[in-house]
Every structure is written in structure tokens, then in C-alpha cells.
Chains A and B, each alone.
Chain A
């Protein structure tokens, strides 16, 4: 651990380039994620966010540039990187035919942990899935599936977690649940790199925000720093209407 402490950033990406046939997706991406922080990679559809995540998770090889995760090179030390990370992809990567608990036990076993059953039960409790744990995942709602997905990612306490659009397709309540889970993770010292196209999500969760546009990181900073890039705020008097989300959550009794 001492050796790791000397590295200031858990994820270091330099000059990452990637093309698919004649489409250039990444044109030199640089980004760093400090240990225990949450960084949001913001960009529109097709900006290359998922490509960055896939390269960092050793699923894809970059054409140029380097990337290290937890001090390990993603190409030459791919196995060590895989020991250090967990990926929650864009589509909930859960086994529909197995029950929630079986999914967790399977991942715990694949990570060669003892007491897979205990770990599974503990995570079911933590993600409010105890009652659903014995049911097949095919019967789960989108939010439950996502929570299970994230729970599966936490098994073995990997120091780095990649979340690719963790709340896409979720209803507002489920989104808040996921946000809560992510915040707890970071509070526990896990480094989180997440992608999103919801500006609000980035604002809500991230310590730093990096905007990926046309294959490059065009801005990278805290929310306050990003806001300073614009001319000083104009003072306008506006009646503060509740947003539709406020109304919705109020009506369905959700928490915010």
C-alpha cells in the first residue's frame, strides 16, 4: 500500500487515441483521477466516453497513448488492472436467469473470495435487495437491476470503479438510489470514474468534471472552476418554480 500511496492519481491517461476503421473517436485524451475522488466524464452521445472506459477496463486497446490504473499499465499489466477495477457497463451486466443472490455469489467466487454467501447477503442488505435476493433477476425493475449491478461491482472491494452511464434508463427515484450508492463508495475511499450525459448528474456527484468533446478533453476542473469559464453570473430575478422532478418525487413519495 505504501508504494501505491506515492502515486497521487489512481487513473492516469495520456494522449489516448482510438479509431474504429475510418472513424476517429479519441484524438489524444488526457485525464487524471485522484485517489478517492469522483470524476465525471461528460459528453454527448458518441463522444467516446465508453471507449475511454473500455480502454481503461482492458476491454479495448488504444491506438496510441498510455493509461495506468492503480499504478498498472492497462496493456502490459492488464491482469493487475483487472484485479484493481470493477466495471459497471452501460447495460446492466447481470445474469437474468440467476437470482440476485446467485449473481453476487458467482462474482464473489470468480474473485476467489471465501464466504461468498456471506458477502452476497451483506451486499443484498446494503442495497436493499434482501427480499428480492431469492428471485430471478428477470423479474427485477430497472433500478433494482442497476443496484444489483453496482453491488456486483463492489465485491472484493476494488480500489477503482468505472461506471458507464450508471443511471441511463432509470426513473428519478432509482437514479437517486444509485447516486447515493456512488457517494457512499467515494466516501469509503474508492476512486470512481463515471460517464454521463446528464449535466445534473455530474454536478451532483463529481468532485471534478471533464468534458469530452470531439475526441479530446476540452475542460477539466471542479464545478466552481467550470462555472468561472463563463462570464460572471448575471443577476436576474426569477420565480423559483418546482421542477417536474420535484413534483414527481413529491407525489410518489420519493426522497431527495
Chain B
């Protein structure tokens, strides 16, 4: 299975290398938001931290992943449409390899997009006091979060009837950070909105990333964040696997 996944991963990575626009378009929207919020709105937003870009970056990273994974659904959908999916299914290869190759490709592509966004943030004045361990924790959370959202993306990729349908599911995911502590502190929100914002996964993940970047203690927040990430990952993986099994049997 590992050998088959590696061959298929090589294939999908070639796709990315030959259409780097997928990585660029993934990074453009988050970068635009970063510029807009830091240089236009940021001055008027009271976050309590010194630099707004430091406050904002974690949420922007989440948005980067949320928009990046829609390409996984898109690529999977194209494979199903084009017949190459059936070719793979009729060949003596590990059946899960086809999905894993797409999932790992998503991970690679998203990590590249994330690096691009972080580099832009550094140019805009983002500074971190995180040590190596802090960076590793940030990387770990982003990797698990990417895997979780990618497995969600597999579901529309397998079931969509049109290209638009395959990628439309990402919009709510992209907007979830807006109703969280990603852009503004939740304290000023009306009670029901605040209750939602403080108890949805993005807030705990964003707060944890922010503390890690700032070199602050993460407290129990990191466990809430990890619980969300792993929980979404497991549930999405179970559902995606079920959909896949039904699709290929």
C-alpha cells in the first residue's frame, strides 16, 4: 500500500508542480485578507496585543488551509470524471492508496501555501518569540488541522455531481474564522454570537497558535484545540472511508 501511495503521490505532486497556480490562488485570498485587515481595518481594532499582524496571522493560516483543501475535492472529482479513477480501481493496487495520495498531496500543497503566507506576514512585520518547540507545536497543529479538513474535502470530492459542487463546500469553512477570535476578540460580540464563537473549533485553535507564536503558556487551550482537530479528523476519515467504500463496491 505504501509503495502504491508513493507512486500516486508522485503523480499528484507533478500535477501541483505543473499548475503552481493552485498554490498561488490558495495563498492569494489569505494574503489579501491579511493586507486588508492589517493596513485598513487593523488600526481600528483593539486586540490588546502590540501588533495586529501578530494577532491576525493564526486566523489567516486557518483560512489558508480552509481554502486550500477545496483543491483536493476538485482533483478527486476530476479523477472520477476522467476515468482514471476507474483505471486505478480495476488495477491490482491497494484501494486506499488512491485516497491517501490525494490527502498527502493536499498536505504538501497546503504546507507550501502556509509558508508563502507566513513569509508575507514576516514582510509585513509579523514577529514571533516562539522557540523551536513552539514552532514544532504550531506545525503539528496545522498538519493535523489540514488532514482533518482534507478528509472532509474527500467527501464532496467523491460525491459531487459538478465541479462547482465539489469545491463549494469550502466556503462555510473559510468563513468560520470570521465568527471566532481570529479577527477580533470575542468580548465585544453579542452574547449568542459570542457563545458560538468561543465554543467553535477555530477559536481554540487560533488562540493556541497565537500563544505559541507569542511564546506564552498555552494552558489547557492546546488540549481543546487538539481535541477538535483530532475529533474532526477521525469523524471525517470515518465518513470519507464509508463514502469511498460505497463508491467502489
**A250 vs chain B, min Cβ distance (A):** 34
B contact patch SS: helix
Q: In the docked arrangement, what's the CA distance between A83 and B82, Å?
A: 22
Segment of B88-96, B160-168, B180-188, B218-226 engaged in the interface with chain A: B88-96
Chain A residue with Cβ nearest B249: A61
Instruction: Please determine whether A98 and B83 come into contact, CB atoms closer than 8 angstroms.
Output: no
Instruction: Please determine whether A98 and B92 come into contact, CB atoms closer than 8 angstroms.
Output: no
Q: In the docked arrangement, what's the CA distance between A91 and B78, Å?
A: 13
**B141 vs chain A, min Cβ distance (A):** 32
Instruction: Please determine whether A83 and B89 come into contact, CB atoms closer than 8 angstroms.
Output: no
Q: In the docked arrangement, what's the CA distance between A93 and B81, Å?
A: 10
- One digit per residue, 1 when the CB lies within 8 angstroms of any chain A CB and 0 when it does not, for chain B 1-13 equals 0011001101100
> With an 8 A cutoff between CB atoms, is A102 at the interface?
yes
Residue of B7, B8, B14, B90 touching A59 (CB-CB under 8 A) = B90
B residues in contact with A110, CB < 8 Å: 4, 7-8, 88, 91, 93
Instruction: Please determine whether A95 and B88 come into contact, CB atoms closer than 8 angstroms.
Output: no
Residue of A82, A92, A95 touching B92 (CB-CB under 8 A) = A82
Residue of B3, B82, B87 touching A96 (CB-CB under 8 A) = B82
How many residues does chain A have at the interface if contact means C-beta atoms less than 8 Å apart? Answer: 30
How many residues does chain B have at the interface if contact means C-beta atoms less than 8 Å apart? Answer: 23
A residues in contact with B84, CB < 8 Å: 93-95
> With an 8 A cutoff between CB atoms, is A112 at the interface?
yes
Q: In the docked arrangement, what's the CA distance between A193 and B164, Å?
A: 37
Instruction: Please determine whether A82 and B90 come into contact, CB atoms closer than 8 angstroms.
Output: yes
A residues in contact with B86, CB < 8 Å: 54, 57, 59, 87, 89, 93
Give the top 6 A-B pairs by smallest Cβ distance, nearest first: A93-B83, A93-B87, A87-B90, A57-B90, A91-B83, A82-B92
Which A residues contact B (CB, under 8 angstroms)?
A: 54, 57-59, 61, 79, 82-83, 85-87, 89-98, 102, 106-107, 109-112, 136, 152
Q: List 18 A-B contacts (CB under 8 A).
A: A59-B90, A82-B90, A86-B90, A89-B86, A90-B83, A91-B82, A93-B83, A93-B84, A94-B84, A97-B14, A97-B15, A102-B11, A106-B10, A109-B3, A109-B7, A110-B7, A136-B18, A152-B87
